[in-house]
Amino acid sequence: MNTISGAQAVIKALEREGVDIVFGVPGGAILPAYDPLYDSPIRHVLARHEQGAGHMAEGYAWATGKVGVCIVTSGPAATNLVTPLANALMDSIPIVAITGQVATTSVGNDAFQEAYTTGITMNATKHNYFVTNPDDIPDVIHEAFHIAATGRPGPVLVDLPKDILNAHLKWHKPPKLDLPGYKPTVEGHPRRILEAIKLIESAHRPVIYAGGGIIKANAADQLRMFAEQTNAPVVTTLMGLGGFPGDHDLFLGMPGMHGTYAATTAIQKADLLIALGVRFDDRVTGNPDFFAPHASVIHVDVDPAEIGKVRQAEIPIVGDVGRILEQMLEAWAKRPAPDHKEWLEKVNSWRTDNPVRFDQQPDGPLKPQYVIEELYRRTGGDAIVVSGVGQHQMWTALHWKFSRPREWINSGGLGTMGFGVPAAIGAKAGAPERTVYLIDGDGSFQMTHQELATASAEGFPIKIALINNGVHGMVRQWQTLFYGSRYSGSELGRDTVNFPMLAEAMGCVGMRVETPGEVGPAIEKSLSINDRPVLIEFVVDPDEMVFPMVPAGGSNDQIILGPEDLE
C-alpha cells in the first residue's frame, strides 16, 4: 500500500487547493510539515511574527479574492495568530490557518509549547478542526478551504498534532465534503425579489447602502448597473469602498461616524434603504434608534444572522449579493429608470455644499490630508492602498477616490492597529505587478514594523507613507473632544524613533518629509524605486482632527463638520 506522512498529505492537500504561497513561521510542532514544504512548488514567506503571517494571508486574500494561507507552530505561535483570526472573522476574509500542536499523547498535559488552540480560537474563527486521525487530513483541508471561501467568507483553522503529522495514511482523491449542516444560500427568493422591486419602484428617496459584501461577492459591476437602472444614490461603508466608482455621479461617499455629510444625511432622509452586504455596524448607524428613521429596509446578505440583528428589514433577502442583484436586474429589465430628479438634486446639493475639507497653508504645518491627496494625484489613483487603524485610515477613506474593488485594504470591524505592514506585504504577494501603498500611522506601524525585514528579505517592494503625528491621533482626538484635552497615554513622541534610519536598517529606502513642498518630489521618488521597499515619513500636524464626525452613540442627524462646529 502506498502511504504518505500526515505532513506530506497537508502539503499535497494545499497544492491540490491551488495554493501558491503560504506565510508562516516554523517551530517544533509544525516542523514535520515544513520538511515537505521545502520540496513543494508552494512558496513560503518567512514572517517575523505570527501576527504578521496572519495579516499577510489576509492582505493576500483581500487583494486576490483567493483564500490566504498561514502556517505556524503550536502554543505561543498559535496564540499570536488570534488577532488576525479575529480580524478575518469580523471582516469576512477567507483564510486558512494551519497550526502545529503537541502530540496527542501530550495534549492536555500542559506540555511544552502547548495551548488549547481550537478552544482559544473557537470564537475567532468561522470553524476550526482538531485533527486526531491522519486519514482525515485530505478531507479536512479540503473542507477548510470550502468553508473559508463560501457563504460568508471567514477564517478556518486546522490544528495538527505532531504525531498525526508523522503518522502515515493512504492518500485518496477526490476529497470528500461531509458538511450536512452547511449549505449557504446563493439564490434570492423570487417572491422576495419581486417585493423588493415593487418597493423600489414606489420609493421617492431611495439610498443604496452597500458594504464589504459587494467586494467579497465580486458584485461591483452588478451594483453599478443596478444603481444606474434604479437611479438611486449610493453610499458605501468603509469596507465597501471601491465597490462602486468613487467618481460616479450617484456616489455620495461613506456614511457614519466619520462619513461624508451627504452620505450620512441621505440615509437620514431616505424613505428606502437598499442594504447590500452590510451589517449595520454601530460606526455607521450611530444610535440605531435614530438611524434612517423614515426608511423601509430591503436587506440583502449571505449571512441570515445579519438580517434583523440591528435593524428590522421589511424585505429580507438571503443569498449571494451579486446573484441577487442579477435577479433584481432581470426583474427590473422592462421598467424605465425612475425619475428621482428632486431627490438627486437635493443629495447633490448636500454633496457640493459640504465637501470634505482641510486647510493646508503653504508654510504651515504639514496636513495629513494633503499628503493623501498628493499620493492620490501622483499615483493617478492606480494603486492598492492599505492602511493601519486610526485617523490616517479615516483620512484615506475620505480623501482617496476608490474606483475599483480590492484596491482598499484595511481593518474595519476589529480595528486592528498593526494590520498595515503585513497586510501590504500580503497584497503585494498577491498582486506583484501593482503598486501597493501603505498609508500607516506611527502608532499602528510600530505594532508590526518588524515585518519590514520580511518585505525586504523576501522581495516585496511595498511603499509606505508613514503619517507621523507623534501621537495615537485617533485616541488623542477623543481626548481633545471628550476628555478636556487631557492626553493620557496617547503621546508617542515625534522624534523617539528615527523612522528613515529604521527603514534603512531593515533593507528599505527611508525618507523624511516635513514641509508641503517636499511631499510631491518624495512621492515621485518612491514611485521610481521598485527593487526595495520604500518608507516616507511625513511629519504632520498632531492637532489635525478627522471631520466630519458624529460622536459615538449619537444620532446621525448631529454631524460635526469641522472645528468651527465645536463651539
Partner 1 sequence: MNQHTLSVLVENKAGVLARVSSLLARRGFNIHSLAVGPTADEGISRMTIVVDAPELEQVKKQLHKLINVVKITELDRATAVEREISLIRVSTDGQKRSDVLEVATLFDAVAVDVGVSTIMFLVTGSPEKVNDFVELVRPYGIADLVKSGRVALARDQKSRKLRAS
232 binds, among partner 1, ligand TPP, none (CB under 5 to 8 A by kind): none
Nearer to ligand TPP, 68 or 418 (CB): 418
Is 54 a residue that touches ligand TPP (CB under 6 A)? no
Site string for ligand TPP, 305-334 (x = CB under 6 A): ------------------------------
Contact of 137 with 169, CB cutoff 8 Å: yes
Is 505 a residue that touches partner 1 (CB under 8 A)? no
417 binds, among ligand TPP, partner 1, none (CB under 5 to 8 A by kind): ligand TPP
182 binds, among partner 1, ligand TPP, none (CB under 5 to 8 A by kind): partner 1
DSSP 352-366: HHS-------TTSPP
CB of 566 to partner 1, least distance (A): 36
Query: Where does residue 309 rank: exposed (0-12), middle (13-18), buried (19+ CB within 10 A)?
Result: middle
Is 103 a residue that touches partner 1 (CB under 8 A)? no
Range in contact with ligand TPP (rule: CB under 6 A) among 18-26, 137-145, 411-419, 496-504:
411-419
How distant, in Å, are the alpha carbons of 22, 264, 473, 479, 553 from that of 491? 37, 32, 9, 11, 26
Catalytic residue annotation = 50, 112-113, 162, 474
Q: How many residues bind ligand TPP, per CB under 6 A? A: 20
Q: Which three cell numbers stand for residue 357?
A: 475639507
How many other β-carbons are positioned within 10 Å of the β-carbon of residue 392?
Answer: 32
Q: Where are the alpha helices (DSSP H) in 107-260?
A: 117-120, 137-149, 162-166, 190-202, 212-216, 220-230
Contact of 444 with 418, CB cutoff 8 Å: yes
Contact of 371 with 396, CB cutoff 8 Å: no
Is 189 a residue that touches partner 1 (CB under 8 A)? no
Is 218 a residue that touches partner 1 (CB under 8 A)? no
Is 303 a residue that touches partner 1 (CB under 8 A)? yes
441 binds, among partner 1, ligand TPP, none (CB under 5 to 8 A by kind): ligand TPP
One-letter amino acid of 243: G
In angstroms, the CA 197 to CA 328 distance is: 7
Task: For Cα atoms 466, 467, 472, give the angle at the middle one, nearest 5 degrees.
Answer: 115
Reference 132, options 150, 96, 108; nearest CA is 108
101-130: burial string, b at 16+ Cβ within 10 Å, e else: bbbbebbeeebebbbbbbebbeebbbbbbb
Range in contact with partner 1 (rule: CB under 8 A) among 28-36, 241-249, 300-308, 436-444:
300-308
CB of 196 to partner 1, least distance (A): 20
Q: 112 to 131, contacts with partner 1 by CB under 8 A?
A: 118-119, 122-123, 126-127, 130
Chain position carrying cell 424613505: 271
Q: Tell me which of 435, 469, 480, 556 binds ligand TPP, using CB under 6 A.
A: 469
303 binds, among ligand TPP, partner 1, none (CB under 5 to 8 A by kind): partner 1
CB of 300 to partner 1, least distance (A): 15
End-to-end CA distance of the chain: 80
Q: Which three cell numbers stand for residue 230?
A: 434604479
Instruction: Characterize the bridge pairing of strands 534-539 and 509-513.
Output: parallel
Q: Tell me which of 474, 511, 519, 559 binds ligand TPP, using CB under 6 A.
A: 474
In angstroms, the CA 549 to CA 217 distance is: 30
Is 444 a residue that touches ligand TPP (CB under 6 A)? yes
Is 391 a residue that touches ligand TPP (CB under 6 A)? yes
Is 305 a residue that touches partner 1 (CB under 8 A)? yes
In angstroms, the CA 192 to CA 190 distance is: 5
How many other β-carbons are positioned within 10 Å of the β-carbon of residue 135?
Answer: 17
Nearer to partner 1, 185 or 354 (CB): 185
Q: Tell me which of 389, 438, 497, 506 binds ligand TPP, using CB under 6 A.
A: 389
CB of 443 to ligand TPP, least distance (A): 3
List interacting residues with ligand TPP (CB under 6 A).
388-392, 415-418, 441-444, 467, 469, 471-475
Applying CB under 8 A, the residues found at the interface with partner 1 are: 118-119, 122-123, 126-127, 130, 132, 147, 179-182, 303-305, 307-309
